[in-house]
């Protein structure tokens, strides 16, 4: 079995990784509709079907004004301008220890969809590094790309 390390799976926004990321998450959810009836399940068991699927992604990062990928300022601009962006969740294509010039890129397979940034938080505690979190909400389908 081929296992993927968490440090190799990344979130990309408009083709670029997010600088100084510590964690990325991709989440899919299905809203269900009750389809219980007297003719199926003997009347004693509930029945449901998925009526709509949604997806979102998040990124936890150290705050910096440099880096080879998207930083807080770039994501801030996307959010306040209500820009629909392309999000990709995939495995980085390089096994390098440090980010290459121009940023990380990804390889197939990966998951791709349009999204908006619906939450952006900057945290600056005394005596610690400043961090930020970005939450992306899917706008339409998320597609698995294999080629």
What's residue 137's pLDDT? 98
Give the Cα separation of 146 and 111 in Å (integer).
Answer: 9
Give the Cα separation of 3 and 91 in Å (integer).
Answer: 12
pLDDT in tens, 92-128: 998 888 888 888 999 999 999 999 999 999 999 999 9
Record the pTM: 0.90
Least Cα distance to 19 among 62, 83, 75 occurs for: 62
Does residue 42 carry a pLDDT above 70? no
CATH 3.30.70.1140 fits 6-30+47-145, yes or no: no
pLDDT in tens, 43-65: 678 889 999 999 999 999 999 99
What's residue 12's pLDDT? 97
Does residue 21 carry a pLDDT above 80? yes
Q: Quick one: three-class SS letters along the chain? A: CCCCCHHHEEEEECCEEECCEEEEEEEEEEEEEECCCCCCHHHCCCCEEEEEEEEEEEEEEECCCCCCCECHHHHHHHHHCCCCEEEEEEEECCCCCCCCCCCCCEEEEEEEEEEEEEEEEEECCCCCCCEEEEEEEECCCCEEECC
């Amino acid at each position: 079995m081929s296992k993927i390390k968490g440090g190799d799976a990344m979130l990309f926004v408009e083709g670029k990784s997010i600088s100084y990321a510590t964690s990325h998450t991709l989440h899919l959810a299905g809203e269900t509709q009750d389809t219980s009836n007297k003719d199926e399940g003997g009347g004693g068991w509930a029945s449901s079907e998925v009526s709509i699927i949604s997806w979102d992604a998040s990124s936890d990062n150290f705050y910096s004004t440099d880096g080879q990928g998207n930083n807080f300022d770039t994501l801030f601009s996307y959010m306040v301008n209500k820009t629909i962006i392309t999000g990709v969740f995939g495995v980085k294509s390089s096994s390098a220890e440090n980010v290459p010039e121009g940023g990380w890129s990804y390889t197939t397979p990966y998951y791709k969809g349009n999204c908006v940034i619906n939450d952006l938080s900057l945290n600056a505690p005394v005596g610690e590094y400043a961090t930020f979190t970005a939450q992306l909400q899917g706008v339409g389908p998320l597609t698995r790309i294999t080629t």
